[in-house]
Amino acid sequence: MPTLRHWLDNELDRLVQRGKRELAEAFVDFNQRYFEPDYEGALAAIEPLYNLIHLTHEPLWSAVVGYYHASANLAWKGDLATAWRQSNNAYVQAAQQRGQFDALTIYLQELLLSAHLSVDGPGYAVEVLAALESMPRPLPEDVQQRINLIKAQAFAAQGHPCLLYTS
């Protein structure tokens, strides 16, 4: 996730420069818990983060936390419907604020497509593959690798687990 990490580092620096160190530090703490993984600690930190985002008037950070919240619901809890809804809401919010070529928006789109496949792989595979093909190019290498995994998941959902096109 180097592309997202770079984006986050720049945005965290921006928060600190704008006098919003408390939000930056709360997110860093949450992110550390998320990747330890300290499931309970990370999940418990989400609501206070949303409250701090609201207090600091940083709505883009709702999309950032939405990315991790949806990922947690998808991977940790297996709550596909909530993960799909959260990733969709976060994607729309990020795309409206930063545009569809922003790193956060691209990662959210990738998460949303994964959520679609998790909810109904065979039903969404064709649409997911089409969406992947319409993504801006060139993509950073780490993003392209994640996209390749989603393609493999979509092909498998169609009954073609050995097909993986990396173009």
For the entire predicted model, the pTM comes to 0.85
Q: Where are the alpha helices (DSSP H) in the chain?
A: 2-17, 21-35, 39-56, 60-72, 80-98, 103-133, 141-157
Q: What is the pLDDT of residue 161?
A: 64
Please say whether the beta carbons of 115 and 84 come within 8 A: yes
- The per-residue pLDDT for range 17-64, each reduced to its tens digit, is 999 999 999 999 999 999 998 999 999 999 999 999 999 999 999 999
